A and B are shown apart, each in its own frame.
Chain A
Amino acid sequence: MSEAAVGAPATRFWFPGASVWRQGNWILRAALIVGLGLVLITLAAPLIAPFDPTDQSLISRLRPPLGFERYKDGYLLGTDELGRDILTRCIYGLRLTFALALAGAVIGLLIGGTLGLVSGIAGGRTDDAIMGLVDAQIAIPMTLVALLILSVFGSTIEVIVFVLGLYGWEQFARILRAEVKKLKQMPFVEAARAAGAAPLRIALRHILPNVVSPMVVQFTLNFSNIVIWESTLSFLGLGVQPPTATLGSMVGTGRDYLPTAPWIVLAPAMTILLLTFAVQILGDWLRDRADVRLRSR
């Protein structure tokens, strides 16, 4: 045995998530590979996409992927009903979906998180008012509100991001409020009060770090839901407007060709699956990571 094997590893390649790789099991490693792969694809979309996502070619429409009869050279995953390359559209669709879902989930986290934190800490009238808002959000069918907003302000990217951000914030608010209310009763928070800590210090130092775990979990759930919700909006014709591709809209339009050309739906659907899988598994790891009680083991 060499000396190096005893101490710290002599060579340690560093890449984003190196520690995940070392600590994780195979499923976490798979999620890491998928996640990093998707991020790289997103960043390098114009470089790696073989075609332009909106280039149509009606002669070569509805061609199947590689390995099937009538496969057309260069169109690895086949073409859609307008003869556009599905691989290219998946890459660009992933890019947009990723960005939209991330933005939407972050906005939801910020709105819901802040309101939940304030609601839980302040209590009383403020709490009643914010929870009233949450109840209203739950009671009103969100799709109708989204339809209204999108048809009034138009389906620009900014408006879509705003609408997606409205989705699911009430869940953040509810979970955070419940956690905060529980934590407020904990002796260590009372100890901080008894030590003379100001409310802001208690919120930032004692309560916030202890609600990271449920927030991360809710974030990953919300992220996946927004991906699906975005495709719902696209399907209703109010999402990102064609010919721009998002994974959701690709699934939506491919639906009509499902019996004859299933690859139109399969490719974006698999991409959605991979994306949400990676986000959920990595989110789960992040939650454990945020907990010092689990870290030292």
Chain B
Amino acid sequence: MTETVLKVTDLKVAFGQFEAVKGLSLELRERETLALVGESGSGKSATALSILRLIEREGGRIAGGNIRLAQNGNFLDLAALPEDRLAGLRGNQVSMVFQEPMTSLNPVLTIGDQVSEVFVRHRGMTRKDAHRAAGQALDEVRIPEPGRRLGQYPHELSGGLRQRVMIAMALACRPKLLIADEPTTALDVTTQAEILKLIKTLQAEIGMAVLFITHDMGVVAEIADRVAVLKSGTKVEEADVFDLFQRPEAPYSRRLMAATPKLGEGSRVGAAGSETVLSVEGLSTRFQSRKRLFASREAGVLAVDNVSIRVRKGETLGLVGESGCGKSTLARSILRLIEPECGRVEIGGNVLSGLPAKDLRSSRKHAQMVFQDPFASLNPRLPVRDLVTEPARIHGVVKAGDLRDFAASLVTRVGLEEDAIDRFPHQFSGGQRQRLCIARALSVSPKLIIADEAVSALDVSIARQITDLMLDLQLRDGLSFLFISHDIAVVERISHRIAVMYKGRIVETGPCEEVLRQPKHAYTQRLLDAVPSPDPERRRLAMPAAGLEKIAV
């Protein structure tokens, strides 16, 4: 019989007048993993922060309900506990791992200082003992060479290692409850797989309960025992993970499942033409490490290394790879937003390489780009009518008098209302902004659109709408796409062919099916293995023996 660790009843969290969580009840037992799933704005992070009462620092407050934590056979109401007693619990009995491993560590303190701090604070150890304990803690989270890491600073560690350090700190005092708020969202799939496995293993060793917050159904299927689906601050469904994936009850859960791209689901792309729209040959881009007087030309990092790709009319080439592999640099080098070192780029019969600046600018109308962050890629000071028509104005495609009508036709093409043209970007949601970015790209009727992680910042259902929009535009207008993403499942849905990039090189390219079914390169294989599958029956991450033990709820 496992005992209850946390009992949340009728929790209400408010930010000013806005109620972010509207009466949520949860129960968590020892050794159990409860996943809190929902799209942005569903109140999942607000719930997580409320449990540690960190919500007050974010400007919110607990407006009602109880948060009871088991303590020596009794329950302690965290919602009513004074601040000084809470400080003793945080990082000790309840600890938290955050999304951003880049910013959750103090950049001016060594790893050793930060991890040993926990032991000094909660275990009353001396600095020396704490330092030794910190070494063990790093060893526990399987960080190679823990002794050396203690003296290093956060910037010397990769994202995955930093997240391991965060976990080491969170687990240092053997908490009863670990709250993990999107701990793998900022990581690459292969790193994500390692972190998930680590959390699962340590849970089995320590026996803590885990409250896992995520938007990714694939991650849920991999790690959760039970799942609570949140929507606009209310729980729409709570179920065993197997039940939820087989028989989702609530309509919203079903929609969420349907929107989640699954690897191996195939795509509904149309037939591609034969005419070549984009041809890249032997493209290399080097980043100079530092300006030095006598530096040889060979110094610096080769971010794009002799890449050759080809995209035909009406075709989508999916470019996948991990962060830092050179995908975005390749995209920018193709358009010469970054000057490549060598190579030849031809878009729709126009050779971009070697063009003088003025001709380069006028030939940019053949290819347009859509960026990742819809909040930053629209000038906040301009109204939509000016934003979406800007490329057309630059290239003289539209006369000033026809501007409004033209803007209206563009926004309707991407599925927005006509009256959107007089509004400003901040009045739109992320998905709508991405539609505006696409409208802007369409304004010059380009032959090719390069979408750089264009749906990565969006919720799954919104991302699906955007990829559907791209498919529709392709079927209707014969547009070609270079679709860059780290998410292979999304790429599969939209692409005819896939190119896999690794350390600046294209290691494999071929038809979508072929690359995914019979990957030739070892790296492709590794990438595919790491993708979490949204099916708890087929967990891909090898689970430790102890962790497989199913808990009676």
Chain A residues within CB distance 8 Å of chain B: 186-188, 190-198, 201, 205-206, 209-210, 291-293, 296
Q: Does B412 contact A (CB under 8 A)?
A: no
Contact present for A292 and B426 (CB under 8 Å): yes
B369 touches A194 (CB 8 A): yes
- The answer to whether B440 touches A210 (Cβ under 8 A) is no
Residue ID in chain A nearest B426 by CB atoms: A293
Pick from A195, A209, A296: contact of B390, CB below 8 A.
A195
Query: Taking CB as reference atom, which chain B residue is nearest A295?
Result: B424
> B390 to chain A: which residues have CB within 8 Å?
192, 195, 197
In the complex, 19 of the A-B residue pairs with CB atoms within 8 angstroms, ordered by the A residue number, are: A187-B376, A187-B377, A188-B376, A188-B377, A188-B378, A190-B369, A191-B377, A192-B390, A194-B337, A195-B364, A195-B365, A195-B390, A195-B391, A196-B365, A197-B390, A206-B379, A210-B380, A291-B381, A292-B381
Residues of A within 8 A of B380 (CB): 210, 292-293
A196 and B361 within 8 A (CB): yes
Contact with A along B328-341 (1 / 0, CB 8 A): 00001001010000
A-B contacts counted at CB < 8 A amount to: 71
Number of interface residues of B (CB under 8 A): 30
Give the CA-CA distance A188 to B395 in the complex, in Å: 18
- B-chain residues with CB within 8 Å of residue A198 when the two chains form the complex: 361, 394
Neighbouring A residues of B369 by C-beta, 8 Å? 190-191, 194
Closest 5 CB pairs of A and B: A195-B391, A196-B364, A187-B377, A209-B381, A194-B369
- B residues 434-460 touching A (CB-CB < 8 Å): 437, 440, 444
Bound Cα distance from A292 to B378, whole angstroms? 13
Taking CB atoms and an 8 Å cut-off, the chain B residues in 339-372 that contact chain A are 361-365, 368-369, 371-372
Q: Which residues of A contact B382 (CB under 8 A)?
A: 205, 209
A293 to B335, CA, bound (A): 31
Cα–Cα distance between A197 and B444 once the two chains are bound (Å): 13
Q: Is the interface of A mostly helix, strand, loop or mixed?
A: helix
- Asked if B418 is at the interface (CB within 8 A of a chain A CB), the reply is no
Residues in B neighbouring A293, C-beta threshold 8 A: 380, 424, 426
Chain B residues, Cβ within 8 Å of A201? 394
- Chain A residues in 8 Å Cβ range of B394: 195-198, 201
**Interchain CB contact under 8 A, A292 and B424:** yes
Given contacts A196-B391, A210-B380, whether A187 and B361 have CB atoms under 8 Å apart is: no
B368 CB contact (under 8 Å) in A194, A197, A205 = A194
Cα A246 to Cα B373 with chains together (Å) = 53
Residue of A nearest to B362 (CB): A196
Across the interface, do A190 and B337 meet the contact criterion of CB distance under 8 Å?
yes
Contacts A196-B361, A196-B394, A201-B394; A188 near B426 (Cβ below 8 A)? no
Q: Which residue of chain B has its CB nearest to the CB of A190? A: B337
Residues of B within 8 Å of A296, CB to CB, are: 424, 427
Other 18 A-B pairs with CB < 8 A, given A187-B376, A193-B337, A197-B394: A186-B377, A187-B371, A187-B372, A188-B376, A190-B337, A190-B377, A194-B335, A194-B368, A195-B390, A195-B394, A195-B440, A196-B362, A209-B379, A209-B382, A292-B380, A292-B424, A293-B426, A296-B424
Cβ of B377 and Cβ of A195 under 8 Å apart?
no
Contact A190 B371 (CB under 8 A): yes
How far is A187 from B434 in the complex, measured between Cα atoms in Å? Answer: 13
List chain A residues, Cβ under 8 A from B378: 188, 191
Q: Once the chains bind, are B440 and A191 in contact (CB under 8 Å)?
A: yes
Q: Once bound together, how far apart are the Cα atoms of A193 and B357, in whole Å?
A: 11
A168 to chain B, nearest CB (A): 26
Among A191, A201, A296, residue most surrounded by chain B Cβ atoms (within 10 Å): A191
Asked whether A187 and B365 contact (CB < 8 A) given A195-B390, A210-B380, A292-B380, the answer is no
Chain B residues near A186: list those with CB within 8 A: 376-377
* A49 CB to nearest chain B CB (Å): 44
From B365, which residue of chain A is reached at the shortest CB distance?
A196
* Contact flag A194-B377 (CB < 8 Å), given A293-B426, A296-B424: no
How many Å from the CB of B445 to the closest CB on chain A?
13
Closest CB in chain B relative to A292 CB, distance in Å: 5
Whole-angstrom distance between the Cβ of B458 and the nearest chain A Cβ: 15
B64-79 interface code vs A (CB 8 A; 1 in, 0 out):
0000000000000000
How far in angstroms is the closest Cβ of chain B from A98? 31
Complex interface: chain B residues within 8 A of A192 (CB): 379, 390
Residues of A within 8 A of B335 (CB): 194
